[in-house]
Amino acid sequence: MTLEILQNPAIPEVELDFVGSIAAPFYWVLRNAEGKDRLRNGTVFFINTGTSIVAATACHVIDQCMEDAKTREFVQCMIGGVGETLYFKIEDRLIDRNPKMDLATLQVTQQEVAELGCSILSGLQPHWPPPLAQPEHAVILCGFPGKSRSEIGPSEHMFGRVAIGTNVSNSRDAKISLLVEREGMYRCLGEGVLPENYNFGGISGGPLVALAERAGIRAWTAAGVIVNGPNPGDDPSQQFISGMEVFYATPIHFIKADGHLDIDLWNNSNP
């Protein structure tokens, strides 16, 4: 049966919420000489390839954590959730990483994901990897911007989640581009208005999920890993595209069924 990626469908709240459930904040603690903590974070999400359960994220998130881990300030890295927090060492979990693709994969178990209170995306595709999302295909992206993080108690933090439904603007074997026009944005979940020039730093590593249909069944399929989003910083002099939010993702087909990365496919896509 043919898998059809949908174009321009209405995206109900339940679908935004589901994509949010497969993502989690990946963060680490740095503690200075005065005992004051500061956090850095990216995003991970969980996929079932049919062969393996994998946590996918952006390579630059993993690289930053590994670099910080060399310092005296580094305390711990972890994956948060609405349930238990998963504490781990990257070197014990890392399956593969590639800075050119800006992808990294980590080992997790189904039980660990369940204890986090998260879901695993199996997808509607008949086999792995899913097809490349094309222009105008409907997708949802999700992540945990650092700006949305708040301290709610001693060594206790809350992460705000951003999920956006849109269409693919441009698609190549090595990159998917998403151009979100603020004029057409409206809030489905949560409260408040997303301000212009919002710093999305921390969303890297989040899922890009395509809305799909097969044999009359509507569901989802993994499309990519968010590797770059609007990140203007706090300097008002920095440039940004007024009225637009631009995101980039590396397609999911570079992740093999065993969680390793397909360097041959990457090299063929970037001759």
Residue 237: its pLDDT value, please?
Answer: 43
Residue 3: its pLDDT value, please?
Answer: 46
Bond before 129 cis per omega within 30 degrees = yes
Residue 9: its pLDDT value, please?
Answer: 52
CA distances to 98, 204, 261 from 265, rounded to whole Å, are 13, 22, 9
Q: How many Å apart are CA 53 and CA 75, to the nearest integer?
A: 27
Of 142, 175, 179, the closest CA to residue 251 belongs to 175
Chunked into runs of 10 residues, the chain (271 residues) has average pLDDT values of 47 79 94 87 96 97 96 94 92 97 97 96 87 90 82 69 87 91 59 68 93 76 90 49 75 97 93 63
CA distances to 82, 92, 151 from 154, rounded to whole Å, are 18, 28, 8
Is residue 263 helix, strand or coil? helix
Residue 235: its pLDDT value, please?
Answer: 47
Q: How many Å apart are CA 25 and CA 60, to the nearest integer?
A: 15
Task: Say how many Å lie between the first and final Cα of the chain, rounded.
Answer: 33
Residue 93: its pLDDT value, please?
Answer: 97
Longest dimension (CA), the chain: 61
DSSP for 133-179, please give it.
P-TTBEEEEEE--GGG-EEEETTEEE---EEEEEE--EEETTEEEEE
For 4-261, the fitting CATH number among 3.90.1170.50, 2.40.10.120, 3.90.1150.10, 3.30.565.10 is 2.40.10.120
Residue 63: its pLDDT value, please?
Answer: 97
Residue 249: its pLDDT value, please?
Answer: 97
pTM: predicted TM-score of the whole model, two decimal places: 0.88
